[in-house]
Amino acid sequence: MRKSPFTKSSRLSFRAGLFSAIGVGGVSMGLSYFFFESSLENLLFFGLLLMILTFGIVYAITYRMLIRRMETLNRINRNIARKRFEDYDNLSTGGHDELDYLIKQTIRASKTVEREIQRLNRIENYRKEFIGDISHELKTPIFAIQGFIETLLNGAIDDEEVNRRFLKKAMRNVNRLILLTKDLMEISKLETGELKSEVQSIYLHNVISDVVDNLQYKAQKENVTLEMGAFNENTLVRADRNQIKQVLINLVENAIKYNVAGGSVTVSAQPFSNDPGKMLVSVKDTGIGIDQQYIERVTERFFRIDKSRSREKGGTGLGLAIVKHIMEAHGEEFFIDSAPNEGSTFSFTLTKAEVEQTRPPVDSVG
């Protein structure tokens, strides 16, 4: 076990006292010899006495000034090395010198190291959770495909009705893997900043109308009414058209997927009450809703409230995470308002754009 350098004596104080004593003693003996013509015995006696007094005084003063603060500095550094962090906010060093400054800098360094360790721990926990989730998400369709193929190879391939049904199921799982890979690549690009937002002036009505028209077949298949609320067709916003379209597709598909037979989904836009310079785009459904305890987590990767229903409907668990990242990249806000068995409303803001006379918006035609 390594011995602590801070004991009842102080090497630093000892050296300061020793060097001071030698200096003072030497100077005093020299002055006495030249000016007072003292005998050698008297010179040595008074010089030695002065050296002892000087050593004692300097040692006591430096020890009192330094030892407590040096112990504090050592304790902070030892805690950093052991990854143990204390609250130093009320720590009083009792000095206003270089050592006091060094202690304060060390405390700041300790807090920085603590925050960094916490951040790395969160990343490590997130990585472990992500690896577990992605392994499960990949394993489920792969094992399903393997099972269908093995069944076919064991003789079911000769039955045309059975092999066709199994091949359709295998293809459905292949499509699920393709969607999962696509969503993973997209969210990875969003998180790393590789996917940049090409913000331009776009007609919001055109984007919403395209999404509603393209997803009508899905709504009809689930016996859900999909409609678009009325608002000014000439409303211009500043956004990346493709990314906002992806946001709307993800939200509308979820609203259809987690709806009830005979339910409805309404996509609308209106001026944002908290900021007249923004529009609030909303996707409202009459579906199963979300319990309050889960609302903050639904934008996490792979988080599902009802996992069996999500897999049955073909979801990857990444849709809302992608929505969140796109809105953050745009510097906009994203809201979720929901209640069980009453439906949900997913909303996000978009900044209005001034009409440019010299250059038409990118989607002004068609």
Would you state the pLDDT for residue 227? 94
Per-residue confidence at 357, pLDDT binned at 50, 70, 90? very low
Tell me what the mean pLDDT of segment 151-155 comes to: 81
Q: Which pLDDT band, with edges at 50, 70 and 90, does 193 fall under?
A: low
Predicted pLDDT of residue 364: 47
Q: How confident is the model at residue 125 (pLDDT cuts 50, 70, 90)?
A: confident
- Alpha-carbon distance of 211 to 267, in angstroms, equals 10
User: Dmax over Cα atoms in the chain, in whole Å?
Assistant: 127
Q: What is the pLDDT of residue 366?
A: 44
- The token pair that represents 30 in the structure block: 């020299």
pLDDT at 134 over 90: no
pLDDT the model gives residue 312:
53
pLDDT in tens, 36-76: 665 666 667 777 777 788 877 777 777 677 777 777 777 88
- Which domains does the chain carry? 11-114 (no CATH), 126-192 (1.10.287.130), 200-352 (3.30.565.10)
Segment 201-228, tens digit of pLDDT: 999 999 999 999 999 998 999 999 999 9
With 50 as the cut, is the pLDDT of residue 345 above it? yes
Q: Using CA atoms of 165, 169, 172, 174 in order, give the dihedral in degrees to the nearest 10.
A: -120
Lowest-confidence range among 17-21, 259-263, 334-338? 17-21
Q: What share of the chain has pLDDT > 90, as a percent? A: 22
Residues in CB range of 325: below 8 A, 6 or more apart: 187, 190, 191
Angle made by CA atoms 24, 28, 29, in degrees to the nearest 5: 120
